[in-house]
Amino acid sequence: MLSTLAVAASLACAPLLSGAAESATDKQAFISDLIGKMTLDEKIGQLRLISIGPEMPQPQLLKEIAAGRVGGTFNSITRAENRPLQEAAAKQSRLKIPMMFAYDVVHGHRTVFPISLGLASSWDMGVVEQAARVGASEAAADGVDVTFAPMVDVSRDPRWGRTSEGFGEDPFLVSQCARASVKGFQGSSPANADSLMAVVKHFALYGAVEGGRDYNTVDMSLQRMYQDYLPPYRAGLDAGAGGVMIALNSVNGQPATSNKWLLRDLLRKEWGFKGVTFSDHGAIDELLRHGVASNGREAARLAIEAGVDISMADSRYLEQLPSLVKSGEVPVGLIDDAVREVLGAKYDMGLFQDPFRRIGTAAQDPADVDAESRLHRAEARAVARKSMVLLENRNNALPLKKSGTVAVIGPLADAQIDIMGSWSAAGKPKQSVTLLQGMRDALAGTGKITYARGANITDDTRVVGYLNFLNWDSPEVVQDKRSPGDMIEEAVRVARDADAIVVAVGESRGMSHEASSRTSLALPGSQQTLLKALKTTGKPLVVVLMNGRPLTVNWEKDNADALLETWYAGTEGGHAIADILFGDENPSGKLPVSFPRSIGQIPTYYNALRIGRPFTPGKAPNYTSQYFEEDYGPLYPFGYGLSYTTFSMSDVRLSATKLARNGQLTASVTVKNTGNRAGETVVQLYLQDVVASTVRPVKELKDFRKVMLAPGEARVIEFPVGEDKLKFYNAKLEYVAEPGDFNVQVGFDSEAVKQARFTLE
């Protein structure tokens, strides 16, 4: 239907480009010709991305667009909103250059999928791709062209609230997710009417902000950057992402937004990136506060010199570039380069052929943009089922029986907003299925659900009271006015009458968001007191976690009968959680991040560099590297997750113990489902370079396979190992594999592994 619409619309507005101009030369010729016709003001207009909102009333915006002073907008999410804007550009402006419309479509659009951390927990790239594909098709059907996603910042510090937006701590897994996501957003081409152009963010190293405090500085060795933090951006770009968003942080003393090394030497020259770069929100202006520009004029000059093509929600380019060019301080060639990238992106999205390809005609607009029929519930539920990680299951407390009475308790049990997670795009809370609803639907006609809230998410008045951190722009968290004691008492009463307790605890979604850094990773407020009180009832206690970062769930680990990490599972979250709790789905997720025991232990990422005095289990800890008040290692390791069945793994077999340069060997294991129900697990391959010219990690994930096995079924899983998997950046930043011994580890998580050794000749 969209393609018919697209043709009709394109005829109606006489596009700049008729017919299909396919080749790169056609594209360059078309763009050069257009740039040749543009005035300086029109060029600078193309570099301006405006946030739709109260800052600019629509009549003024339409005038600005018609005058050729705006290249695109973001945050408008219906065809009806975008159509007049596109008409002003494509019909009224002098050169009829189309607008582009952007939005943060991170984990779904109208249908909300699990947050990225949940998607990564599936370790299933089909799942990651599908979430992006559905999100793209829904957003494109709303007239959106560009998404500010995927967010591929490696994060090793769970204090950082944006941990929730990324795919975890591991360069290899995050890179795989980056690739799958870009593929999903862009489909076979960003020009497709149901595709979005992907913008990989935040370039670069945003996940490494010091202390996990958002927007803080990053200071990092080149080795660490190249080895651990840069690969996911590169993977997203190699998968064809059309854009890059520049990070808000500084990198080794230079803000990313004014960082020529980052944006020109690395991104353009070394990596050969040909797409468009976006500043983050207001970031050019922030160069003043970073203290590298003394005024707006200098900020604009630094940003354009560094290679920032588009200024987002920032008027510095508009105000300053005209006179900077006229005075000769900024050569017009720099502006032309940036404009070429913007027009190139619009060209790649098919907008010159048809500016209305994602907007269509008014007659075709949905009568109700929020209509239930526009959602993809089945896909969201299937994906959410794959995103959850079973952390504990004592005495097979799960799955629950579909009979009797289940007490559903907790501040997150009936939280329609929170279950969507942060950056939930155009998702509507009233359309999301809470855990309570999901449980009611699952038990309808066969059992009974009772409910008590039990606690507020937090009692901290700084967060929900006088500073109102969580409710600053809308009432996200509504406090129950009863005292914690009264709420707990009610919950215990309800629990006593039930056969099992399912209690949803964690963080409100605003606690795992941009600018939401924490100094504690414990359950906030009186939630743990609630859990302890429920435990005294002696009823099976099933703890369902909803959160956007690892939490220090020590008590929960030791005391819950079952512990299920559900992250924020999206529109169909409640159904998907119930599917797992009642055994309609066998959990198969694995942690994409390590869970620390305490905040003092951070960072706890598994692939740390080796050291001279490592802690050795079973030996005295004195003069070894550890914290003496606490057990060594994470609470739950990277890659960990249980199933309702059990699996065994054979020793690792190597097809050879010597690997020639350019050769290949195979590491294989036999994996068997030793339980009595079908289930999936993730077989993970780690490598360790035993001796190298620089210190290397204790191990690094290099491959994985998700396998479904019937009860009793055994399968041989083979991993090819060649030189490419052994390479690293040496002291001269050369990407090399050095001869010598390598340990091959295969396991069901990063700790429970079997090992063999081979030698690279």
- Strand 48-51 and strand 311-312: the pairing is parallel
Measured from the CB atom, is 281 or 727 closer to ligand BGC?
281
Q: Does the bond joining 399 to the residue before it have cis omega, within 30 degrees of 0?
A: yes
The burial of 19, by beta-carbon neighbours within 10 Å (0-12 exposed, 13-18 middle, 19 or more buried), is given as exposed
| Backbone φ, ψ for residue 4 (5° rounding) | -65, -45
Q: Which two tokens stand for residue 252?
A: 């080794």
CB of 489 to ligand BGC, least distance (A): 42
The residue sitting closest to ligand BGC, measured at its beta carbon, is 148
Measured from the CB atom, is 512 or 559 closer to ligand BGC?
512
Measured from the CB atom, is 228 or 314 closer to ligand BGC?
314
CB of 214 to ligand BGC, least distance (A): 9
Measured from the CB atom, is 106 or 412 closer to ligand BGC?
106
Other beta carbons less than 10 A from residue 228's beta carbon:
26
CB 349 within 8 A of CB 190: yes
Q: Which two tokens stand for residue 645?
A: 């069945």
Q: Does 201 bind ligand BGC (CB under 6 A)?
A: yes
Handedness of CA 492, 494, 496, 502 (dihedral sign): negative
CB of 280 to ligand BGC, least distance (A): 5
CB of 197 to ligand BGC, least distance (A): 14
Q: Does 568 bind ligand BGC (CB under 6 A)?
A: no
3-class DSSP state of 58: helix
CB of 515 to ligand BGC, least distance (A): 8
DSSP string, 498-547: SSEEEEEEE--GGGSSTT---S--SPPTTHHHHHHHHHTT-S-EEEEEE-
Q: Does 514 bind ligand BGC (CB under 6 A)?
A: yes
85-104 footprint of ligand BGC as x/- string (CB under 6 A):
-------------------x
Q: Does 216 bind ligand BGC (CB under 6 A)?
A: no
Q: Which two tokens stand for residue 157?
A: 């510090």
Q: How many residues does the chain have?
A: 761
Measured from the CB atom, is 203 or 595 closer to ligand BGC?
203
Measured from the CB atom, is 151 or 591 closer to ligand BGC?
151
CB of 440 to ligand BGC, least distance (A): 35
CB of 514 to ligand BGC, least distance (A): 6
Q: Does 203 bind ligand BGC (CB under 6 A)?
A: no
Other beta carbons less than 10 A from residue 662's beta carbon:
8
CB 546 within 8 A of CB 418: yes
Within residues 268-287, the interface with ligand BGC by CB under 6 A covers 280-281
Residue 193 C-alpha from the chain's centroid: 24
CB of 13 to ligand BGC, least distance (A): 28
Closest C-alpha among 140, 148, 201 to residue 350: 140
Concerning whether 368 is annotated as a catalytic residue, the answer is no
Measured from the CB atom, is 201 or 385 closer to ligand BGC?
201
Q: Does 148 bind ligand BGC (CB under 6 A)?
A: yes
d(CA 247, CA 225): 14
Residue type present at position 751: E
Residue 574 C-alpha from the chain's centroid: 21
Q: Does 754 bind ligand BGC (CB under 6 A)?
A: no
d(CA 345, CA 309): 11
Measured from the CB atom, is 315 or 528 closer to ligand BGC?
315
Q: Which residue has the tokens 């190298």?
A: 692
Within residues 104-133, the interface with ligand BGC by CB under 6 A covers 104
Residue type present at position 281: H
CA dist list (Å): 95 to 14, 91, 549? 12, 9, 48
Q: How many residues form the binding site for ligand BGC (CB under 6 A)?
A: 6
- Point out the catalytic residue in the list 142, 280, 418, 561: 280
Please give the positions annotated as active site: 280
**Contacts with ligand BGC, residue ranges (CB under 6 A):** 104, 148, 201, 280-281, 514
